[in-house]
Each structure stands twice: as C-alpha cells, then as structure tokens.
C-alpha cells in the first residue's frame, strides 16, 4: 500500500504542476504570440490530460485478477505510457509543419521578456516536479510514474531551450537584425518538435511491447479443458487456470492436484503428458502446469477408503 500511496502523491503533484504550467503558458501565448510557446502549451495540455488518466489508471491497475484478465490490470500503466507517447508525436508533427510555415513567413513576437520570464518559471516547475516524481517512481516501482517524470524533465529542457531562443531573439533585435530575429521563434519551435518526437517515439515503442494481458480466445479455452479432461482419471482436481496472449503467442498455466503419496516420477510424467497434449493442439502455446499434493479433505479420505487416483 505504500507504493500505491507514492503513486497517488506523484499523480497529485503532476496534476497541480500541469495546471499551473497550462495557465502560465496560455497567458504567455496571448501576450507574446510565440509559436514555440504554443508548442510548449500543447505539451503541457497533453501532460495535464495524462495526469488525469494516470490517476484512474492507478486505481484500475490495483484491481484483482478476474475472469477476462487472469493476470490482473497492472499493465494498464503501460497503456497510459503509450497514449502519452503517441499524442506527443502527433502534436510535434503538427507543430513542426506550423514551424516550417513560420520560417517561410515569419511574424514578429511581442514582449519577448515576458516570454523569457514565463519560460524561467516553467523550468523551475518542471524540474522541481520531475525531481519529486522520479523520487516517488523509485519508491513505487511504477513505470507510468517514471514516464511522467521523464515527461516533466523533457518539458523542462524544452522550456529552457525556448527561453534561450528568446534571449537570442532579443540580442539579434538589439543588434539591428530584425529579420533574423523573426526567424528565431519558428526555428525554436521546429527544434523543440524534433526533440519531442525522439523520446516520445521511444516511450510509445517500449510501452506497446507491454500491453494488457487478455485471456486466450474461447476456442483455445475449450481446447485446454478438453485436453485436461483426457487425464481426469489421473488427477484429483485442477485449479487456478490462467491464460494470456502476447501477439500470436499464448500462455497457459494452472495447478493439478494429485494424491499426496504419489511418486515424484509419476507426478512429473502426468505434468509432461498434459503439457504435451495442450501444446500439440494449440499452436504457439507455452504451458506451465504446477503439481500440488492433495490435502486429504476429499470424500474418500473422510470415509477411510483408498484413493482411486493411487495406482
């Protein structure tokens, strides 16, 4: 539960920081009319949306396993990572096209010192938030919280780059290079777009390798039961059947209950036969069958009769 508490704390900090960042950047965009700030604002809006989704994802990730998700919901955090990566890539591509148009037809920005001041505040918020979120991610071991920390760190670097661009623009304008100064803002937006695409693509790629586990299709489930039923005269019971898919691969695991006095060799042979039958009838399937001795709480044991599965 401590890990869960750390995740909620990180999510709360992320939410508060993102709200503050969105407000600061929205005001700065209206006052300064900067394409680079518009790009930065789009990233913060994604961050705010992800913070809200992350909060509910954490609630879902701790839900116990059920009939349709035998391995639980822990990987919903990876889905959240993937969503963030894909949306950031989309924003970066859209803003890069706007940046190219801006380079061809540059517009002057207003109040560059206001833009620089906003960037300085954003850098402090981003790196401060990243430090705390990384700390909580380490304690909780959550990949989604770690991804949020990476997002904050990246956003801090971007705000710093935009702040430097404002200084360069102010310096060029002071030196009389007004035409060059107009190109600094769209150029900064283009550089920021490139910087966003690379880590976002990596984030999306890594997360999509770890999607939610779902059970195998109904036909394969029935086939598993059929193959186990072929050996019903050798085992007392079977329990805790769990299946999942990863691409075309299927993973099956369950326990079989055997008499306590059965030999290890005989138990091993039964397990091997069941695994071989399932693998032979379900393509691309990996099977793990665990052996468990009975607790002698059956009807035969209570009546003092010999176990019919001992032979």
> Which of the listed ranges 91-95, 131-135, 244-248, 260-264 does the model predict with the highest average pLDDT?
131-135
Residue 293 has pLDDT above 80, yes or no: yes
Q: How does DSSP assign 122-160, residue by residue? A: HHHHHHHHHHHHHHHHHHHT-HHHHHHHHHHHHHHHHHH
Give the pLDDT mean for 151-162: 83
Note the pLDDT of residue 218.
Answer: 86
Q: What is the pLDDT, as a whole number, of residue 72?
A: 63
What pLDDT, on a 0 to 100 scale, did the predictor assign at position 278? 93
Kindly report, residue by residue over 12-49, the tens digit of the pLDDT: 888 899 899 999 999 988 888 887 788 778 878 877 88
pLDDT at 1 over 60: no
pLDDT average, residue stretch 190-196:
79
Average pLDDT, the chain: 80
Question: Would you state the pLDDT for residue 311?
Answer: 59
> Could you tell me the pLDDT band of residue 131, with boundaries at 50, 70 and 90?
very high
Task: Report the pLDDT value the prediction gives residue 132, as an integer from 0 to 100.
Answer: 92
If phi over 0 gives left and psi between -120 and 50 gives alpha, with beta otherwise, what is residue 244? beta
pLDDT exceeds 90 at position 124: yes
Mean of the pLDDT values across residues 277-306?
Answer: 80
pLDDT tens figures, 210-262 = 666 667 878 888 999 999 888 888 888 888 888 877 645 688 999 988 887 78
The pLDDT value recorded for residue 41 is 84
Query: CA 25, 31, 36, 42 torsion: positive or negative?
Result: positive
Please tell me which residue, 244 or 124, carries the higher pLDDT value.
Answer: 124
Q: Does residue 144 have a pLDDT over 60?
A: yes
Asked which of 69-73, 124-128, 260-264, 281-285 is least confident by mean pLDDT, the reply is 69-73
Are 307 and 301 in contact, with CB atoms under 8 Å apart? yes
Q: What is the pLDDT of residue 265?
A: 86
Name the burial class of residue 162, with classes exposed (0-12), middle (13-18) and buried (19+) by CB atoms within 10 angstroms of its CB: buried
Domains of the chain: 2-208 (1.20.1510.10), 218-302 (3.30.70.1350)
Mean pLDDT over residues 300-309, rounded?
67
Give the burial string for 201-237 (b: 16+ CB within 10 Å, else e).
eebbeebeebebbebbeeebeebbeebbeeeeebbbe
CA–CA gap between residue 154 and residue 7 (Å, rounded):
20
Q: What's the whole-number mean pLDDT along residues 260-273?
A: 85
Residue 203 CA to residue 150 CA, distance in Å, equals 9
């Amino acid at each position: 539960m401590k890990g869960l508490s750390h995740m909620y704390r990180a999510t709360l900090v992320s939410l508060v920081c993102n709200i503050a960042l969105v407000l600061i950047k929205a005001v700065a965009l209206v006052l300064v009319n900067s394409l680079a700030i518009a790009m930065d604002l789009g990233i913060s809006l994604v961050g705010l949306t992800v913070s809200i989704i992350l909060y509910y994802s954490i609630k879902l990730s701790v839900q116990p396993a059920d009939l349709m998700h035998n391995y639980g919901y822990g990987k919903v955090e990876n889905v959240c990572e993937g969503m963030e990566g894909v949306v950031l890539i989309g924003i970066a591509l859209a803003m890069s096209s706007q940046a190219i148009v801006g380079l061809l037809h540059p517009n002057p920005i207003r109040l560059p010192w206001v833009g620089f001041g906003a960037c300085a505040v954003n850098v402090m918020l981003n790196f401060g938030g990243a430090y705390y979120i990384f700390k909580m991610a380490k304690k909780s071991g959550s990949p989604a919280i770690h991804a949020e920390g990476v997002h904050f760190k990246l956003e801090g670097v971007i705000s710093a780059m935009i702040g430097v661009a404002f200084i360069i623009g102010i310096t060029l304008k002071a030196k009389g290079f007004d035409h060059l100064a107009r190109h600094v803002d769209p150029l900064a937006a283009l550089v920021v777009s490139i910087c966003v695409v690379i880590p976002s693509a990596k984030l999306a790629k890594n997360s999509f390798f770890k999607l939610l586990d779902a059970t195998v299709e109904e036909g394969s489930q029935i086939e598993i039961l059929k193959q186990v039923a072929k050996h019903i005269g050798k085992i007392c019971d079977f329990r805790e059947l769990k299946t999942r898919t990863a691409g075309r691969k299927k993973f099956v695991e369950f326990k079989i209950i055997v008499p306590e006095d059965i030999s290890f060799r005989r138990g091993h042979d039964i397990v091997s036969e069941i695994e071989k039958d399932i693998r032979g009838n379900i393509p691309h399937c990996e099977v793990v069958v665990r052996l468990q001795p009975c607790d002698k709480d059956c009807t035969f044991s209570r009546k003092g009769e010999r176990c019919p599965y001992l032979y």
